[in-house]
């Protein structure tokens, strides 16, 4: 079989766009995707006969065009493949979930389009069953065509919360409330900038808000979810509203969301002797689907050009889309200016996988030795667990920085480090692959 020119990891917007472009250049392209369908989280396909989740017409058109071009490109796509990393010899490692086999692939160039993960701030009780990310609720809703059942509370920060709320309402189960740390109605300058330069985003936002009003969903701005407690079979959310009053809201499910960030956890820097490795889309810079398509297309052109000895610059539309993200983050800037982690009680879980809490981090950081991020991981097991720091490394690094203002601020990467596998893989699959044995023979 011909050697792979371009191996693309992830069939979300960036991966699909990169595949289409590299394919147009006549290169042999292979895509690995962990799910059984293309689209990633943002364009997750509905199962047969499920009603579609409502998305703005403009986004639907972008999605349709991309999906049609990807289908027409007939790029070889291996579904059910979980990416595990790139080893020091430049081999791409993956687990084929269809067979349970460990797969190693060699390619001249690699495009990593691993998307984004949601940022979730810890709150006491965030580790309970029934609590998920708001994006998690949304992706399940896209898959099943069903709104999450029961009393659903959405809380955190950012425009995704109102989008999910409106989509739930349209599918017949509006959330009991949306708790938003920011107050876009008070950020006039950012609101004017959004309407002036990115009118379609303002139009889409008003569409969502109109849907919420129609279903009498309260969008509580300048409010924060303080903690989550058990309430029989359900949950009870303790919310501080913009007037500083504490209110309790009963819910069966709570969806949290505090923004998104690149899913580049654990990825080693490219090896100069190895294949060309390019990060694309949200995996390079989390700017959303439209930017991911533009960036993925550029990544496809870039690897195609590089294989022929040319260089290729960042697409120009990224400047505009980066500006839109910056305006949105000003618009949704939290009203509360205190550090969101500073007042957490000591028993708040920071690292859910290893069950490590705020008090344990304070104890580690209290010594005179000024532990590094790496030492906090190795001594304290923060970011050591099976999510590999995806949901705690940012928060742990931020709290370390807050606790020790006189020391250099650690980054998430200092805690997570870089390695393969970047995701758990059954030891049996690894052992059966012979990867370790091959290494020994080389030595």
Partner 1 sequence: MTAPIFRFKGRAIPFRPGESVAAALDAAGVTLLGHDALGQANRYFCGIGACQNCVALIDGVVRETCLTLAAQGMVVVPMEDAGG
Regarding 129 and contact with partner 1 (CB under 8 A), the answer is yes
Under the criterion CB under 8 A, does residue 190 sit at the interface with partner 1? Answer: no
Task: For residue 396, give the 3-state DSSP assignment.
Answer: helix
Q: Which is nearer to partner 1, 110 or 251 (CB)?
A: 251
Give dist(CA 406, CA 370) in Å, integer: 10
281 part of the interface to partner 1, by CB under 8 A: no
What is the rounded radius of gyration, in angstroms, for the C-alpha atoms of the chain? 22
CA 46/CA 57 separation, integer angstroms: 17
Q: Number of residues in contact with partner 1, rule: CB under 8 A?
A: 48
Rounded to an integer, what distance in angstroms lies between the CA atom of residue 172 and that of residue 382?
40
67 belongs to the binding site for partner 1 (CB under 8 A): no
Least distance (Å) between residue 221 CB and partner 1: 25
- Taking the complex as a whole, the smallest distance from the CB of residue 237 to partner 1 amounts, in Å, to 15
Q: In the β-sheet with 218-221, what is the strand arrangement from edge to edge?
A: 131-133, 253-257, 152-156, 177-180, 218-221
Q: Where are the alpha helices (DSSP H) in 94-198?
A: 134-144, 159-170, 188-197
Q: Does residue 199 interact with partner 1 by CB under 8 A? A: no
The answer to whether 48 contacts partner 1 (rule: CB under 8 A) is yes
Instruction: Say if residues 31 and 6 touch (Cβ distance below 8 Å).
Output: no
**82 or 179, CB closer to partner 1?**
82
The two structure tokens encoding residue 75: 């790029």
> Does 143 participate in binding partner 1 (rule CB under 8 A)?
yes
Tell me the closest approach of the beta carbon of residue 138 to partner 1, in angstroms.
Answer: 8
Q: Is 131 in the site for partner 1 (CB under 8 A)?
A: yes
Q: Does 51 bind partner 1 (CB under 8 A)?
A: no
Strand-pair partners of 153 = 177, 254
| Residue 259 · residue 333 · CB < 8 Å | no
Nearest approach, Cβ of residue 423 and partner 1 (Å): 7
Which residues pair with residue 346 across a beta bridge?
none
Minimum gap (Å) between residue 360 Cβ and partner 1: 13
Residue-wise DSSP of 46-79: PPTTPPPPP--HHHHHHHHHHHHHHHHHT-EEE-
Could you tell me which stretch among 115-123, 288-296, 306-314, 406-414 binds partner 1 (CB under 8 A)? Answer: 115-123
- Contact with partner 1 (CB under 8 A) among 172, 345, 370, 426: 426
Determine if 127 is a binding residue for partner 1 (CB under 8 A). Answer: yes
Residue 182: DSSP 8-state? B
Q: What is the C-alpha to C-alpha distance for residues 193 and 87, in angstroms, rounded to an integer?
A: 45
Q: Binders of partner 1 among 385-404, rule CB under 8 A?
A: 385-387, 390-391
Phi and psi angles of residue 405, each rounded to the nearest 5 degrees, phi first: -60, -20
Q: How many other β-carbons are positioned within 10 Å of the β-carbon of residue 432?
A: 12
Q: Which of residues 73-92 bind partner 1 (CB under 8 A)?
A: 82
**With binding defined as CB under 8 A, does residue 209 bind partner 1?**
no
State the minimum distance, in angstroms, from the CB of residue 145 to partner 1: 9
232 near partner 1, judged by CB under 8 A: no
Instruction: Give residues in contact with partner 1 (CB under 8 A).
Output: 34-36, 41, 47-50, 82, 97, 100, 115, 117-118, 127-133, 135-140, 143-144, 146, 148-149, 252-253, 263, 349, 352-355, 385-387, 390-391, 423-424, 426
């Amino acid at each position: 079989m011909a050697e792979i020119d371009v191996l693309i990891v992830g069939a979300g917007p960036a991966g699909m766009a990169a595949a289409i472009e590299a394919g147009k250049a006549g290169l042999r392209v292979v895509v690995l995707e962990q799910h059984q369908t293309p689209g990633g989280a943002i364009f997750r396909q509905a199962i047969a006969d499920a009603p579609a989740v409502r998305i703005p017409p403009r986004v639907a058109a972008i999605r349709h065009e991309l999906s049609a071009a990807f289908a027409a490109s007939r790029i070889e796509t291996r579904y059910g493949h979980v990416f595990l990393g790139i080893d020091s010899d430049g081999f791409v490692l993956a687990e084929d979930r269809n067979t349970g086999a460990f797969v190693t692939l060699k390619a001249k160039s690699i495009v990593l389009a691993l998307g984004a993960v949601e940022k979730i701030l810890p709150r006491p009780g965030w580790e309970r069953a029934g609590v998920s990310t708001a994006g998690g609720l949304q992706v399940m809703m896209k898959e099943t065509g069903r709104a999450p059942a029961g009393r659903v509370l959405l809380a955190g920060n950012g425009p995704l919360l109102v989008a999910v709320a409106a989509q739930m309402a349209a599918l017949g189960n509006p959330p009991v409330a949306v708790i938003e740390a920011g107050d876009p109605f008070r950020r006039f300058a950012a609101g004017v900038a959004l309407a002036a330069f990115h009118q379609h985003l303002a139009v889409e936002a008003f569409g969502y808000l109109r849907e919420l009003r129609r279903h009498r969903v309260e969008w509580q701005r300048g409010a924060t979810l303080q903690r989550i407690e058990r309430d029989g079979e359900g949950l009870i959310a303790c919310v501080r509203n913009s007037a500083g009053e504490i209110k309790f809201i009963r819910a069966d499910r709570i969806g949290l969301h505090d923004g998104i960030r690149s899913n580049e956890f654990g990825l080693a820097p490219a090896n100069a002797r190895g294949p060309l490795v390019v990060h694309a889309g949200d995996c390079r810079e989390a700017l959303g689907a439209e930017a991911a398509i533009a960036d993925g297309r550029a990544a496809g052109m870039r690897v195609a050009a590089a294989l022929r000895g040319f260089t290729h610059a960042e697409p120009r539309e990224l400047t505009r889309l980066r500006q839109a993200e910056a305006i949105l983050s000003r618009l949704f800037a939290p009203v509360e200016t205190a550090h969101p982690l500073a007042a957490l009680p000591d028993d708040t879980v920071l690292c859910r996988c290893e069950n490590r809490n705020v008090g344990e981090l304070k104890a580690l950081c209290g010594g005179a030795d000024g532990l590094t991020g790496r030492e906090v991981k190795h001594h304290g097991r923060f970011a050591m667990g099976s999510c590999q720091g995806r949901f705690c490394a940012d928060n742990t690094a931020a709290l370390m920085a807050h606790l020790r203002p006189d020391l250099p601020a650690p980054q998430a990467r200092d805690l997570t480090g870089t390695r393969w596998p970047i995701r758990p893989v059954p030891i049996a699959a690894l052992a059966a692959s012979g990867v370790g044995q091959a290494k020994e023979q080389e030595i």
